[in-house]
Amino acid sequence: MKPDRSTLLLVLGILSIIVCAPIGIAAFSMGRSDLREIDAGEREPQGRGLTQAGMICGIVGMVIFALQIVFIALGLLLPAVAGG
């Protein structure tokens, strides 16, 4: 069996919310693959809850990242439209 990476996934998920939102992409993709491996019996099942929490935090981080991109784009486009 592959070792448990749930703590790493949770840390990545939390970091994606607090520090660097693009890390959420890694937390989500790793969490998703780990959950599939847990379901298939290839990975230790005791970290399922932390893996799901890390994956959810990664999703939140990705949403924050997308909102940042939208707000930056609006901040750049609105003054150009209003001035033109």
Give buried/exposed letters for 36-69 (b at 16+ CB in 10 A, else e): ebbeeeebbeebbebbbbbbebbbbbbeebeeee
Helix (H) or strand (E) holding 65, with range, is helix 48-83
Indicate whether 84 pLDDT > 70. no
Domain boundaries defined on the chain: 6-83
Please state, as a whole number, how many other Cβ atoms lie within 10 Å of the Cβ of residue 18.
12
**pLDDT, position 29:** 95
Indicate whether 83 pLDDT > 90. no
- Short-list 69, 65, 66, 55, CA closest to 14: 55
Q: What is the mean pLDDT of residues 49-73?
A: 94
Give the tens place of pLDDT for each residue, 8-57.
999 999 999 999 888 999 999 999 999 999 999 999 899 999 999 999 99
The distance of Cα 40 from the centroid of its chain, to the nearest Å, equals: 23
Indicate whether 61 pLDDT > 80. yes
